[in-house]
Structure 1
């Protein structure tokens, strides 16, 4: 069962404000922008900012293959001093190769010339959709980089920007059920949908009179979005078979990423991502918990299982809620601006004992927070080993309105270890604890030596990483048992104190 909140659920751990400027264009021509311009800008960015120094000689050959895949008569012959374009085995044009294999500007310029010559020589490429040529070239390019660098086409990039920063919408989460209906799963508090009387469980029938019954989930989401202040009419079918048309105006919607649930005298905070409103939403959730539970509050469970990450500055500010002065994390990369140490700049506002839940799908910004809280002795981590995305991506906005999500630095925990590919290991591994009754000081102690070994590693090999991850195998599920173990830990102050002392 898939679900979307008028936004995709994909986000990278990225610094904000690092997008290349984009000139104004007519929307009708944006998708037809030249592949040469897009790839030239991408090569410049890769040469300047990628975490590792690239080999553009090898990359150029792969990029060209992706670009020209629609026409098998085209090929690129890589010589020592020149790259030669061939069509049906005959030379079309030859260009001298740049002397420096790491000069992205020079190699991008040469490749742009080869692209232009290829289009002139190939009727197939002349008829091809420019967006497909761009995607073929960019996907082939990013495959030569690392597992977290990638290309987002204009539609996906628009979804990414909505998820990060919000946009015009009505504030609902929709899902496709097993019987193919598109149903509203949740309504955001204070949103146009909430004010208009839209209810969770309503089936979407039409948007602005256009029937949605045979549309994809993505089609419905895009139809619901629009400019802030723009009117929209949503037609829904209620459970009593009444069809209702609800008129409303779109407002700026930022997806909800932090929600509060009371578990007896424990505050359970679900943190599902890191967008521009996450820290504010977290603070609001904590305020609700303090108001509702009061002095009886025994502790906080921060549930970041299957949280795939998001904005770097939000990871810092979320950690600051729980950590006082001191280092939260640091970054190291090839570009001078990527070498930074991030410290807590304010006094923590949440003092209660804290347990953090993670699993094998907890990644990126979620791992920043978990590693910092664990290293600083502020929280016990419960669950299974996390995903292991210990790098930062910067987002380059491309001339076609797509995005190059480019890895540019490596993340380090306060103690100096990096969790990239390795992951964050919990203090209490629920893959090894059968049930709540087995939680005891002995089970905590058994993990401490392993945790110290985990944090001592600086440049483990792939084999060593595989062996470490087998200590507490990553799981993709989010069982209620994890919450029960976390609550048990918070209700036993001595056991909790024992767990956070690594």
Structure 2
């Protein structure tokens, strides 16, 4: 089963997660034949033995070894990690769309937990947690020195139990936020008619996403009396999920053809995923909303729609999570699992969006221009992020948002009124959609 996410260990969700991952059964591993590697392993064993016998306090061998494995894997890239047995059980449960916790996707950066995205209709979202926030303390105790798994473990607890977290946000004093834990039941897909235009929000690409989208389109078509005059697909803040679901969602809008391909380091390590024929929303004018927290599976859908000329992409440049991880159970999961990056994924036109993201056809901000320079928080911001091999020489680690030509909300505009959505609906109702789409596709 393919997944697409920020994930536990290097990018984790509090109670769980989402960015590109493939489950694999155990396979034979070719062991190195050279002596130097075994000498290094002997050195590791010697160091471990000396720590056990001479360190100032007694240590836990299993914790030391788990931390060592994670140190090795996370030095490769932000998404490779060791998943302990308990976390692996939770991961398998959470792809089904229900789990306990606070409800946000997180990673570790500079010794602090950094929020990738809060999840819709969860305690974190309702408490005002934002993408880019740093969580520095839990119950007044610093997280400096804690691993991501340890921090996530501290934030977990029984539903109904309160927790206090300290949040650092750019340009503001520290925030001390009380949140009550609860069981997270994601309503994966929502829909409604907005000013005569169909609106569908997909919060995550779990097992319910494609079916929920199809049900929503059918309901909107019925409500509109037949054919929809236009549709807005909202993928903002969607951190990803199952790769298979991104292909099924794309099939709703594409009449066959390639949706995405994945390529590994060997020339023959290529997989192509095609849409099914007979799209459900044929000829319905489509606008896809994205932002900096739209990642992985969201970027697959946006990239396919863009490359196929099926609709307009509106919003801000996406996160740029363009790599695929294999999740390999160890001893059937009894010893946890290894999550390791094995491939990059590419849009139908062969674009790798790793670190660079999907650039919208219409770059429109959700918040007014404050006149300040802001750095884009993206995959490239994460420690040891894999470079985009197509643009490695041209890309900086971070992209200046001010370098983009952005349409900002007018002065005094209320953020809650959703400028991006308003602009999408206005475009679909204006009669200029076809002209804009033709211009965007050259």
TM class, shorter-length: 0.5 to 0.7
Gap regions ≥5 residues in structure 1: 1-5, 22-40, 49-96, 102-106, 180-214, 224-249, 436-456
Q: Paired residue for 1:8, among 15, 34, 55? A: 15
Gap regions ≥5 residues in structure 2: 1-12, 104-120, 128-152, 162-182, 370-387, 409-414
Matched with 2:404 is: 471
Tell me by how many angstroms 1:308 deviates.
0.7
CA distance in 2, matches of 1:384, 1:479: 17
> CA RMSD of the aligned region, Å?
4.1
Matched with 2:314 is: 382
Tell me by how many angstroms 1:285 deviates.
1.6
Matched with 1:415 is: 349
CA distance in 2, matches of 1:217, 1:433: 30
CA distance in 1, matches of 2:342, 2:48: 32
- Looking at secondary structure, tell me which structure has more helix per residue: 1
Structure 2 residue 228 is the aligned partner of structure 1 residue 280? no
**Equivalent position SS for 1:165:** coil
Tell me by how many angstroms 1:494 deviates.
2.8
Matched with 1:440 is: none
Matched with 1:445 is: none
TM-score, L = length of structure 2: 0.64
Matched with 2:436 is: 498
Matched with 1:441 is: none
CA distance in 1, matches of 2:298, 2:319: 10
Matched with 1:328 is: 259
Instruction: Give yes or no for contact 1:417–1:458 (8 Å, CA) kept in 2.
Output: no
CA distance in 1, matches of 2:68, 2:125: 36
Structure 2 residue 424 is the aligned partner of structure 1 residue 486? yes
Tell me by how many angstroms 1:347 deviates.
1.5
Q: Paired residue for 1:132, among 39, 63, 86? A: 63
Matched with 2:123 is: 175
Residues 420-473 of structure 1: CA deviation (Å, up to 9, x unaligned):
1111010111049989xxxxxxxxxxxxxxxxxxxxx97213543556974368
| Pairing 1:288-307 to 2, within 5 Å after superposition | 288-295=219-226, 297-307=228-238
CA distance in 2, matches of 1:362, 1:141: 28
| Pairing 1:86-485 to 2, within 5 Å after superposition | 99=34, 107=37, 116-121=45-50, 122-123=52-53, 127-165=58-96, 175=123, 218-221=156-159, 255-295=186-226, 297-334=228-265, 338-351=269-282, 352-399=284-331, 401-431=335-365, 459-461=390-392, 463-464=394-395, 470-471=403-404, 480-485=418-423
Residues 93-148 of structure 1: CA deviation (Å, up to 9, x unaligned):
xxxx95388xxxxx4x6666555555555336894334422331122112221233
| CA pair 118-9 structure 1, distance change in 2 beyond 3 A | closer
CA distance in 2, matches of 1:427, 1:350: 21
Residues 370-407 of structure 1: CA deviation (Å, up to 9, x unaligned):
00001101110000101111111111223554333211
**Equivalent position SS for 1:295:** coil
Tell me by how many angstroms 1:156 deviates.
3.4
Matched with 2:146 is: none
Instruction: Give yes or no for contact 2:98–2:186 (8 Å, CA) kept in 1.
Output: no
